[in-house]
Structure 1
Amino acid sequence: MHIHIRKLLAILAVFAMTLGFAACSASPDGGESTKMKTVQTDKGEVEIPEHPTRIISDYYLGEFLAVDVKPVIASPYALNNPYLKDYVEGIEPMNITSSESTLEQFAEAKPDLIVTITEADYEKYSKIAPTVYIQDGKRPDEETFRYIASLVGKEQAADDYIAKFNDKIESRKQEIQDIVGNQTVSILEVWPQEIYTM
């Protein structure tokens, strides 16, 4: 009787351990992954880690840095932005030699989240890691910033940043008004196919 109980307890212990292992998936760095969450993206619902730690972004570097999140790989164009130069140490520039070299680099980095502005690369990226495609120009900048912050669980940091930014605007408003006077000023970003009005 005691032997049967011991055998049953041993089987139950093995079963419990198996369930425990099944409930924890391995993360790219070999540890247990964090919990997952479902987010709405411009490509539908995507399941991503609640708190991703190895992020690749081909465009939104400033938004991540503003909420104190440093991607492992980012666009070389963003990394060359003079306003970000004090914050980008340790971030690897995206290899843009070819599509194949980019994909190899991404796969080797073992990201747990890829955030992209490039719809054409979405399917390729999503085979490497959970990928969030954000359509360029679909949302106002502040909304895009808040959305990116929400992907990494930094909503409060985004609120704080926006509040400080608005305070800075108010403090400089009169100074700019004195320079501009009664003129109307537009800020334009000119690209070969289109022009953005800020």
Structure 2
Amino acid sequence: MERSSKCAVCYSSFRASICVACVNRSLHECKTVLDSLKSRREVSYSRLSSLLVAKERAMIQQCWMDLHNEKLDKLRDKLELQVEKLQKSKSTFRRLSSNLKERYGVIESTNVALEKSRVRQLENHYSDTIGDHYLVYIELTSERLYKQALVMKQICKLFPLSKVTVEGHNKYGSSGQYDQICNAVLPQGLNPLSVPPKELAASLG
């Protein structure tokens, strides 16, 4: 402490202040210093608190960023796995589609071949059936004509058969020679309209 701040008694005693005035002055000076130190301490504490709060916020933000980056990495890995699975699924789908197309092609060609074979078999069957029916028809027709010839021979033996000549053209037939049995004119060949209805009825009766 400087000499001007002490009285002569306190200064000459080479001791701390012993009088009331010097003690009060010393206390006031100490209080002033303490108040200044307290203010500096509060300012430093406020700055330190601000720094701690900012550091805590930075740490929280850094932790959040680290956690977010970790989640992003996991999601990225999961996405890569899903993309890889999707590519494998697409390749499998293309392969199965190609196999199905080939099988459908084979089935289609087989169906076409079977349809052609069925049509050929039906044609052969119907042609054979038609031929058989035609042969049966020819046989029946020949037999019927033979029986008709026998009947006509029997009729000719029982009734006299004569030839008549019809002159002029009528609505039932043309002029020419007709066979006649018992005054009934027979039709020409197998045409029943070549004679009038009465003559046809008489010849059939």
Q: TM-score w.r.t. structure 1 length?
A: 0.25
Structure 1 or 2: more strand by fraction = 1
Structure 1 or 2: more helix by fraction = 2
Q: Bigger relative contact order, structure 1 or 2, given CA contacts below 8 A and separation 6+? A: 1
Larger radius of gyration: 2
